[in-house]
């Protein structure tokens, strides 16, 4: 402990060797993506459906899509609206920094 980061140790456990700088960087990205998106209810529903019936990929995809709602996807819509508004303001002559 203290010599390897969590990511480096995780790589060591998986492969039996220490990670290169590139491997550590990309494994860090992967772990952050999993932490950020992996436990969303729609993803969990899709994984559980596929685990229950590995032959039902279509069912798992449908479960994931049907599990999406305003709580899960609402922030993406709000972000898109904010970006569209900023784009309109810049097109109308507002400085980009002020539009942001």
User: Model confidence over 10-58: pLDDT tens digits?
Assistant: 999 999 999 999 999 999 998 888 777 767 888 889 999 999 999 999 9
Are 71 and 53 spatial neighbours (Cβ–Cβ below 8 Å)?
A: no
Range of the domain at 88: 69-100
**Residue range 62-73, pLDDT digits in tens:** 999 998 888 777
In a domain, 89, yes or no: yes
Are 30 and 10 spatial neighbours (Cβ–Cβ below 8 Å)?
A: no
The token pair that represents 84 in the structure block = 């569209």
User: Is the pLDDT at 98 greater than 80, yes or no?
Assistant: yes
Number of domains in the chain: 1
Pairwise CA distance, residues 8 & 12, whole Å? 6
In a domain, 79, yes or no: yes
In a domain, 92, yes or no: yes
């Amino acid at each position: 402990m203290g010599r390897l980061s969590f990511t480096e140790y995780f790589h060591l456990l998986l492969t039996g060797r220490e990670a290169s700088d590139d491997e550590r960087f990309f494994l860090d990205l992967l772990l952050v993506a999993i932490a950020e998106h992996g436990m969303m209810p729609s993803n969990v529903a899709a994984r559980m459906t596929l685990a229950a019936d590995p032959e039902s990929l279509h069912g798992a995809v449908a479960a994931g899509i049907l599990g999406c709602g305003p709580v899960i996807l609402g922030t993406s819509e709000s972000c898109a609206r904010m970006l569209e508004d900023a784009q309109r303001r810049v097109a109308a002559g507002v400085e980009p920094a002020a539009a942001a």
